[in-house]
Chain A
Amino acid sequence: MRTATIVLAAYLLCAVVAATWRVLPWIVDAIPDVGALTAAYLGLTARRQVSPAIGGGLVLGYLIDLISGAPPGLFSLVLALTTLAARAIQQRILVRGAAISIAFSAFVALISGALALIVRVACRMESATFAIELSHVAQVTIATAILGPLVWRMFRRIDATFARTHRERDAALEGLAP
């Protein structure tokens, strides 16, 4: 239920971002990667089992595929792998505080962008020149880094509403894995 709510909220946020960025022509290329942020959050806060988080990332990726017009499966695969990467990181570093959140958001956006590029190249899909792809990834990374802490704060609030004890609630608001 928690994962489904986060995925639904992330999907709504994706729709809002897509509509908002359309009316902001001066930053039209710097679209925050909400999908990658969500997948990273699901991976970071995955409980004992990994598969629900991976499933959440996969479903959100599928919805993003349909919104963006990408071939179905592209962002599903990328976000599933991003969730897995975040899960691996969860066991090594603690993402807490604004600075780490911003840095980790940028890192997640980079990982996601690189994975998307690799998958596209591996599947022989059309892509722009390397310089343009790099510029796009850089802009997306900056936008994602700025928006990341806010998105995660929202997800933590959602997590807190699903907490069964005060301890779980406090841990969720602090960004600690329960």
Chain B
Amino acid sequence: MTLRRRLVDWSLTGFLILLPALVLRASLARGTPTALDQAVLRITAPLETAVSWVVEGIGGTWSRYVALVDVEAENRELRDDNERLRKELAAMTRRAYDVAALEDLAVVKKRTPADTLGARVIGAPLSPQFRVLRLKIDRGDREVAADMPVITSEGPVGRVDRAYGNYADVVLISDPSSRIDVVIRDPSQPTAPSNGARGVLVGLGRADSYACKIEWLERQGRPAGAPGAGDAKVKVGDEVVTSGLGASFPAGLVVGKISKINGDDGMFQAVEVRPTVDVSRVRAVMVLLAPPPPPDPDAKTRRRSEPAFGTRPL
């Protein structure tokens, strides 16, 4: 090799060393790929994609179909975990349901002006159409007695039929033997007094629903001059609430809504009621041990007596 060719070769070598240094400096200053970089990437990308596809396909085949040494043990372990977690989930769901029911009972207890006793539902015989016929609660004859009302946060459930040992049977409001004195209220004006129509709620005892009817539902409302006076014609959707008469259920508990009007002879109306309480979902109830005390007629008018000898609290 001649000296001239050697010089050209080493000059070219020096240039090829210097070139990437300059390119690196420029790319660091610029920060974005040049058009040449993008063009090369566009050309080489399909090749790299193809290589990746082949390699990952082979690797995937290996890991999915050949290298399955620990898969059986891992599968068994995961199945066991799954079963355990399902059981835990079921237990937690049940507990959450119980907690929600107890929270409801606490609310009921707070707003009910009567002595109450919480009880857990431990049994519910079903009809052939899977409707609850009556409830069994975990309170016995030492705690509850026959005819005590049973309620939830949603409304009345029924009354204690009989108590024995540590249990008591609750007859539902949908049972033909159940009778509750009720009045009708317009749901669009829940704070207004009822229209005066009164009646007796009686269970229909159907095997496929919890429907009730109201017997002797008055057609005439309150007398002229009284609040809510006038016609007491009811309509579908009107709320049925307890009247508080009969010294059993406190007044104002929503029993259900009128679902069907069967007749109106001008004196009495025949209607069907759909109860608000879904008995099949009730897990805890509240038993009213004693009727609420009668309201004090002087509650807002009576003044506190003056303290003796002029002493006052600091």
Residues of A within 8 A of B34 (CB): 72
Residues of B within 8 A of A22 (CB): 52, 56
A-contacting residues, B36-62, CB 8 Å: 37, 40-41, 44, 47-48, 51-52, 54-56, 59-60
Interface residue total, chain B, C-beta cutoff 8 A = 34
Residue of chain B at shortest CB distance from A80: B17
Q: Does A35 contact B (CB under 8 A)?
A: no
In angstroms, how far is the closest chain B Cβ from the Cβ of A5? 15
| Cα-based distance from A125 to B5 in the complex (angstroms) | 38
CB-based contact A15/B24 at 8 Å = no
Contact with B along A82-100 (1 / 0, CB 8 A): 0010000000000000000
In angstroms, how far is the closest chain A Cβ from the Cβ of B68? 16
Interface residue total, chain A, C-beta cutoff 8 A = 33
Q: Does B28 contact A (CB under 8 A)?
A: yes
Binds A, one of B7-15, B73-81, B189-197, B256-264: B7-15
B-contacting residues, A42-74, CB 8 Å: 48-51, 54-55, 58, 61-63, 66-67, 71-74
CB-based contact A19/B56 at 8 Å = yes
In angstroms, how far is the closest chain A Cβ from the Cβ of B150? 63
Q: Does B307 contact A (CB under 8 A)?
A: no
Chain A CB within 10 Å — which of B13, B19, B41, B56 has the most? B13
Interface SS majority for chain A:
helix
Q: Given A73-B27, A76-B24: A55 and B48 within 8 A (CB)?
A: no
Q: Does B100 contact A (CB under 8 A)?
A: no
CB-based contact B17/A81 at 8 Å = yes
CB-based contact A77/B12 at 8 Å = no
CB-based contact A84/B12 at 8 Å = no
CB-based contact A54/B20 at 8 Å = no
In angstroms, how far is the closest chain B Cβ from the Cβ of A73? 3
| Cα-based distance from A120 to B125 in the complex (angstroms) | 81
Q: Does A134 contact B (CB under 8 A)?
A: no
Residue of chain B at shortest CB distance from A67: B48
Residues of A within 8 A of B24 (CB): 71-74, 76-77, 119, 123
Chain B CB within 10 Å — which of A19, A20, A54, A55 has the most? A19
| Cα-based distance from A66 to B43 in the complex (angstroms) | 11
Residues of A within 8 A of B63 (CB): 23
| Cα-based distance from A80 to B5 in the complex (angstroms) | 20
Give 20 new A-B contacts, CB below 8 A, not counting A19-B52, A23-B60.
Answer: A15-B51, A19-B48, A49-B5, A51-B9, A51-B13, A54-B12, A54-B16, A55-B16, A61-B20, A66-B40, A66-B41, A66-B44, A72-B33, A72-B34, A77-B20, A80-B17, A80-B20, A81-B17, A84-B17, A123-B24
What would be 5 A-B contacts, judged by CB atoms less than 8 Å apart?
A15-B51, A58-B16, A67-B48, A71-B28, A72-B27
